[in-house]
Amino acid sequence: MNDLKQMLILARYQLRNYIRAKRLYILIIIAAVVISLIVYVNATFGNPAEQEVKDTASDFAGFAPTLVVLTALFFGGDAIASEYQNKTGYFLFPNPIRRVSIFWGKYIASFISSILIVLMYYLSGAVYVFYYHQTVPVEYYYSLAYSLIFLLSLLSLTYMFSTFFKSGAVAFAIVTFLYFLVFNIIDGLSQIAGIEPWFSITYAASIITLVFSGEYMGDYTHSQVIHAGRGITITIYQPYLWEGVAIMLAYLVIASLIGTIVFQKKEMK
């Protein structure tokens, strides 16, 4: 049996595990609640019909980065570490299945599960925008594409960290701390230091909403210096669209390689 068939078989069983553990259902419920809140709040306290179509679309896409992070955590945070924590690796690893097939089979299952949630969210948003404006701006489709690239890179990074630990809970906690706190702190400190945080994946992911800025795609200021008083200046950086994509793809390639290599060499103990 070749590697691709092994990956697909592993992906199928991993998908069943997600369904059995109700993770997929939980994310669907979370996405549905968020969609309902966005629609309710905007309809009650705003007037989407009088907004520019890009503004209405941007309102909906604004939660997409957070949703992508949640899906990556739910479906990838403990994907590898759980094999060591639950000792299931003792039954899986001795089989004639290459470690690379296990790693990427699980990755495929995580991506399929995650993309279902993201597509559900964006499809709901498209219906919402079309209802008020009878059209969906092209920027919305680009935002979706950037979200999927962000999802791929985040899953790779999540899987990489999951290979470092033997406890699913620890892996999940570390990755959550990293995404929601560390990267945001780095982005904030970089603004104070006047250094573009090109090394931050959350900085790169800001193109998901930046695509709606300006008269046309990419029509926004790359950096802006703000004088905060007492000699303190803050530089607000915004990545170019191509730059954001390049950073996320770099994370995808590097994290995938490291995660695959570490998993191949890691032993059950």
pLDDT digits (tens, 9 = 90+) for 188-236: 888 888 888 888 898 999 999 999 987 777 778 887 877 766 667 788 8
**Lowest mean pLDDT: which of 190-194, 235-239, 252-256?**
190-194
**Residue scoring higher pLDDT (37 or 228):** 37
Average pLDDT, the chain: 83
**Lowest mean pLDDT: which of 48-52, 62-66, 110-114?**
48-52
For the cut 80, the answer to whether the pLDDT of residue 91 exceeds it is no
Give the pLDDT confidence score for residue 90 in this predicted structure.
42
**How confident is the model over 52-70, as a mean pLDDT?**
89
**Residue scoring higher pLDDT (88 or 215):** 215
Residue pair 162/79 in contact by the 8 Å Cβ criterion: yes
In this prediction the pTM is 0.88
For the cut 70, the answer to whether the pLDDT of residue 164 exceeds it is yes
Closest CA to 156 of 242, 76, 95, 224: 76
- Listed in order, strand segments (DSSP E) in the chain are 223-229, 232-237
Give the pLDDT confidence score for residue 1 in this predicted structure.
55
For the cut 90, the answer to whether the pLDDT of residue 250 exceeds it is yes
**How confident is the model over 146-157, as a mean pLDDT?**
93
Give the pLDDT confidence score for residue 146 in this predicted structure.
96
**Lowest mean pLDDT: which of 1-15, 26-40, 80-94, 223-237?**
80-94
Cα 157 to Cα 3, 10, 112, 251, 255: the distances in Å are 22, 20, 17, 7, 5
**How confident is the model over 119-127, as a mean pLDDT?**
94
**How confident is the model over 176-194, as a mean pLDDT?**
83
Give the pLDDT confidence score for residue 51 in this predicted structure.
83
**Residue scoring higher pLDDT (21 or 199):** 199
89: pLDDT confidence band, cut at 50, 70 and 90? very low
Closest CA to 135 of 126, 125, 145: 126
For the cut 90, the answer to whether the pLDDT of residue 136 exceeds it is yes
Max Cα-Cα span within the chain: 68
**Residue scoring higher pLDDT (42 or 98):** 42
